[in-house]
Structure 1
Amino acid sequence: MRGHRPALRTPRVRARGAAIAAFVALAPLISSAAAAVGTQVVSAKLPYDCALPSGQQRVAVRVQATFPGRATTGEAIRPTAVSTTVELPAPAVADLAALKATTVVPETRLSLDVAQHGAKAQALWRGTGAAPPVAVPAKGPLTLTTTGDAPTLTAAADGDLTVTATDLGIDLALAAAGGAPTAPASLSLDCTLAKDAAGHGLLATVPVGPATSTPAPGRSPSPSGPTAPASGRPTAPASPTDSVSPAGPGTPKGPTRPGAPAQEAGGGKDKDKAPKVGESRTGSSAARPPAPTCLKQNPTSKSLTAYITGYSNVRKLGGASLIPVSCVQIEQGDPQIAFPPDGNIHMLQKSEAYLDYQGRKQTPPFKSTFLTFGFTPTTATMVLEQAGPMTVASDVLLVLPDNIAETYVRAPLVLRVLDVEVNGTRLDVGPSCRTQTPLSSPEPDPATYPGPHLVMLGKGQLINGSDATGYLLTSGGPLTGEVTIPAFTGCGAGGEDLDRLLTASISGPGNYVKQIQGQTCAVAVELPTEGQCTEDHQPFVVPVPER
């Protein structure tokens, strides 16, 4: 709404047509942080014309954020240290006093244009005020500051990427003396950027160019980040961030690399090395990062627990989803010696496992935010639910002095969408929005393992007298695979069927997966080994997702 009289209301529901259109952006998509050289700190003071009960007033707004100095094509740029400070003039303070408000809690909604080569997308920076509520002074002005996370900006082509502030919404939760509610309980102000704003609201320009180096094809990934496999599968990104991706001329088609290569693979003998006892993937043994509870009830002598986390690409949308740190409960099988026709000696072990989050066989809920060109930012809360037994099949080739291990992890996982917000407004997808079947991967042994399921392979080596490298069940390491996202079903409420829309935009094959398992904890050991278990018998090592 634009005009001289504001609406006194709680934040209203936005246009449903736009919400349905934006739903095509729904996906477990979180792109990487950009590989940037230096930073640029933005502190822009912008004039806005806001509709107040007393009429239109000029409001001073300061927008602060930190952007990278430059970025690589196909990477993502995440603004950090984002804040919005609004200085309401004396007439606005008088309006609040007239409503008997003695304190306010602010929220802001800053709209932005993200542009490159004439293509443009819209992003939204939502900010909330810190506690306690802000006291309304006897007379103005009143300064309100909000902070919040900003969605990332993904540049699909070379050239300058510009970020420009446009409309601003200010939502004020009001309270009278003693915390009693006012009537109305909130005031929402619609503001437009003044025509005389310096720079017309331009906040930042980020130069985008090609990567300075590319990883050698066909080599194994380094601990700091995998290269895209020789098959051309995309690479998972580096950090859990949201994503805004303006599309336009020059946007690549087919598989893309949302992650940045770190150092070339094969650069050292510690490549893909499993963490040592007492050492996490970050190399620190002093502190254990926060992680979900991972306790085994009624453990046996063969019970293990471990954390796992990583990324799964969404090929259709050219990005990747962070799978959060999740607890895995493992019951080891008995090892067996086998003499197959190849004439070598093999040690085989088949273990069973399951995800555990608050007693349910699933990951913790995780959020993803994405914006395709021309749509509104859309955030979804999702979980991966285990739909059947998870198996861990290890085959160790006993060839002295090297013992070479291959481990296949197979898990039937259904992707369930729990909640959706479009531009901050909840979109009801119903209680049963999920993939029709579990995620599926190419299966090397379909006769033994029928049905759809995710398959991940870990390769490791145990050299006598030295540490293990790669993946082993007990020491952990990287697991990789490729997954097909099935069609969706049960999505929509109130007569709206969103199944085909979601399926057309997300479902499909060729999505590269990389997960990192941490060092296991032998739960039943009375005195756990230092660095492997906490004092209450949870896994000590919390792995870090790798590109």
Structure 2
Amino acid sequence: MTARRHLRAAAIGAAGLVAGLLVGPGSSAQARDADVELAYDCDFTSGEHPVRIHVTGAYPDAGTVGRPVQPGRVTARVTLPPAALEGLLPDGTSELAGTVSLTALVTQGTRSAEAVWTLGAPAVPVGDGPEGLTLEHTGEVPSVTATAPGELRIAAGAVGLRLRPVTGGELSGQELPAVDCAPADGQDTLLATVPVTGRTAPSLPADPSPTPGEPGDGASEDPGDGGRDGIAVEQPPAAPPTQCPAEPPADGLDEDFVIQPPPGDPVRLFYPPAGGSHGCAFAVGLANVEKLGGAMIVNDPAATPQLLNARAAVRTATRLRTQPGGAFTRIDSYGEMTLPDAESTFLTFGFQPVSAKVEFVTGPITISTATVGSPPDRYNLAVAGFYQSLRVHDVTINGTPLDVGDNCRTARPFPVRLNGDFPDYTNVIIGGPLRGTVTIPEFTGCGTGGEDLDQLFTASLSGPDNLIAMNQGRLCVPSGGGVNGCPPVVPPLPGQEPEKAP
């Protein structure tokens, strides 16, 4: 079978990549938890103060030469003593948010590299307790690849703190002076060790003028360059945005997705003079393709998720319980969201790896919530609706490109209608889970050079009953005068929510 015929035979499986599981760059080996309490000396504007930093994370039990060793999500709890905050916070500060940049020192024998772990913390209330204030920073961190066997040691180095005050319920655009911290003397800063096995990877061309005694004998001074028998650090995606877009969404409501009242008297409409509250939130989720029984991550929280830019409560509709049709109250909001491409991998025929990227083109989003009827028959509804189309690109079969062209997409936009169940989803301010099914239209524009791949993608992907499950985080309203939710927090994926207390 020629290579081209082999690619064509795998094309139906290539269409299945839309439903493939996302594959990250790190190792999938079993992980073990690490929990380390460290002491730092930090240089505040008021002088040097001791700061406790509690670092927790999960690390693989073992690694393999040439393959990334990927730590799990890392948490750094930074406790600031009261004396350090004296005179630092502007008047009226009610909460404090922050970012921590922890330099991880990675060594293996005489080889070494540095990786910067940048983690974000949501705002917490500022109090006057004797223990000080604790900011809990979390985030994804870079993977590390060793090109020779041996024990990989990861230790904590210097730390940089960036603090952002919240005054009057609004996250201040002013960042406080940077705080530099160094590990206190006389302590073990080791976070984890990972044994790496396998053969030494082939050497890269040597530097024509190496400097004797430098880290090494082949180690790279540049953290992004593995060098000969070195350690390569792959930086994670850019951190998610922490502030709402400066401008509110321009598009308005789509009546196709607005909840309609039961038959009866017309409802009374009210439009707030300010045009609703401008805010933002993260929404992440999963999309299934029914024919293939697979799922794809949408707005992946482990990559660089993007924000829903929203206007909340732009219109209210009401009807009294004494009027024909009964009581009805509805609040309409709208937003816009540019989803990042999803990169998927799928094993065709159980062994043939097929990869590609999926682009989502999403129209204006209408969010409508309503309370219908009077007790004891009152019930609540929530709908988020929009039109969307899909484009598939950058397709490879076992690493060999399959040219599907630049316009391999659904033949037309299709409606997406997601429903929220009360009380898990009350309104756009609080957020919560949303679920719905969509019908994916046929594909068009797939293939180049006279080869038509439309039917292959249509046969594998198009059809009804494709589940979409999303989690919307709490809306951050910067001008809300005390409204919680700023900066916006990335919610967990559906199915990964923490268990509720009984």
Q: TM-score, normalised by structure 1?
A: 0.45
Higher strand share: 2
TM-score of the aligned structures, taking structure 2 as reference length: 0.48
